[in-house]
Amino acid sequence: MLAATSFLDRLFDAGILMETGVEGLYARSGAFERVVDGIDRVISRFGDADGAEVVRFPPGMNRMVFEKTGYMKNFPNLAGTVHCFCGDDSGHAEIIAALEAGDDWSRQQALSEIALTPAACYPLYPIAARRGSLPADGRLFDILSYCFRHEPSREATRQQMFRMREYVRMGTPDQVQAFRQMWIDRAGAMVGVFGLEGAVDLANDPFFGRAGRMLKNNQRQQTLKFEMLIPVESVEKPTACMSFNYHQDHFGTLWNIRTATDETAHTACVGFGMERLALAMLRHHGLEIEGWPAPVREALWGAA
Ligand code: AMP
Ligand code: ZN
């Protein structure tokens, strides 16, 4: 091999990530999980005083909610759905025969009621909507989900299954925009606590296809998405490790979330890529976490 050892290979060699044979699907070591736990704690330290309601999700969501959210329209290439066998003995025999012959065995598989969650906040909106109108000061949630995006890659930071922690705000336009700005301001301080350097920049989601180009432009023009970019794979192309999203009334209209004065609620979320933040720290401070700078270890684990 002529290419220099990649960051991903170094993580494999150090046993921090373990290969599964699928790009972007990795097992994680205890050391990696200690870093993720520490990052989780730092995020809580920044956000706890706001009094968010904690909700934790399984990695799958109601497929009808997934459909209504428009994921297949906007990001069909990234989506993952769960399929199951619902047939009888002859269907089962067909599967076994196909497997033995090395043929496609998916004909007997049918779409189930579950889709893999692509973004942690998607399953939250219908839950919030069912509670009725928002209180006068809106609502704030602290959520975490494993997310799936079908984007196989040799970059350690682009995984197919990864954890996303979010704070999600629902309320008036003023309330949710102030929330987003507060987190953009906090993010700079948080990156400093991690011993990293990063910069916030305007961004867009990877809307699919030709129609997607217009959606990307609109999103940028309306400054709906910002990202915290931190060099991980390279300095020239820093990695989005957090995102700050203003959805306007998109989810409020979709799920009929009402404010206390019976207007359509606006929503915003801040998302933290747990694997990306951990990888950024491993890249900057080294693969031996015992050797990390004392203030960083102190911030993550409370003990030098
Ligand atoms: P997004 O909804 O695209 O803004 O994602 C929120 C955060 O999740 C991003 O800022 C990343 O930190 C993280 N993230 C998104 N896609 C991936 C991926 N393929 N692998 C790892 N982390 C990701
Ligand atoms: Zn979100």
pLDDT in tens, 63-111: 999 999 999 999 999 999 999 999 999 999 999 999 999 999 999 999 9
Q: What are the tens digits of pLDDT across the range 212-249?
A: 999 999 999 999 999 999 999 999 999 999 999 999 99
Quick one: pLDDT band at residue 4, thresholds 50, 70, 90? confident
239 Cα to the center of ligand 1, angstroms: 9
**3 state DSSP class of 156:** coil
Say if residues 67 and 118 touch (Cβ distance below 8 Å).
no
What pLDDT, on the 0 to 100 scale, is given for residue 2?
A: 53
Which residue's CA is the nearest one to ligand 1's atom 4? 243
Say if residues 115 and 152 touch (Cβ distance below 8 Å).
no
Task: Report the atom number in ligand 1 closest to the C-alpha of 240.
Answer: 10
Q: What are the tens digits of pLDDT across the range 158-207?
A: 999 999 999 999 999 999 999 999 999 999 999 999 999 999 999 999 99
Instruction: Write the CB contacts of 155 (distance below 8 Å, at least 6 apart in sequence).
Output: 7, 8, 233
Task: Report the atom number in ligand 1 closest to the C-alpha of 228.
Answer: 10
Instruction: Write the CB contacts of 283 (distance below 8 Å, at least 6 apart in sequence).
Output: 7, 231, 232
Mutate which of 162, 207, 224 for ligand 1 pocket (most atoms within 8 A of beta carbon):
162
Shortest-distance ligand to the CA of residue 122: 2
Using alpha carbons only, give the angle 135, 140, 143 rounded to the nearest 5 degrees.
140
Quick one: pLDDT band at residue 3, thresholds 50, 70, 90? low
Which residue's CA is the nearest one to ligand 1's atom 6? 271
Shortest-distance ligand to the CA of residue 74: 1
pLDDT at 304 over 70: no
Mean pLDDT across 274-292: 98
As for ligand 1, residues whose beta carbon falls within 6 Å of it are 119, 149, 151, 157-159, 162, 164, 227, 240-243, 271, 273, 275-276
Task: Report the atom number in ligand 1 closest to the C-alpha of 162.
Answer: 21
Mutate which of 157, 180, 243 for ligand 1 pocket (most atoms within 8 A of beta carbon):
243
Which residue's CA is the nearest one to ligand 1's atom 22? 273
Mean pLDDT across 29-34: 98
pTM of the complete model: 0.97
Length of the chain: 304
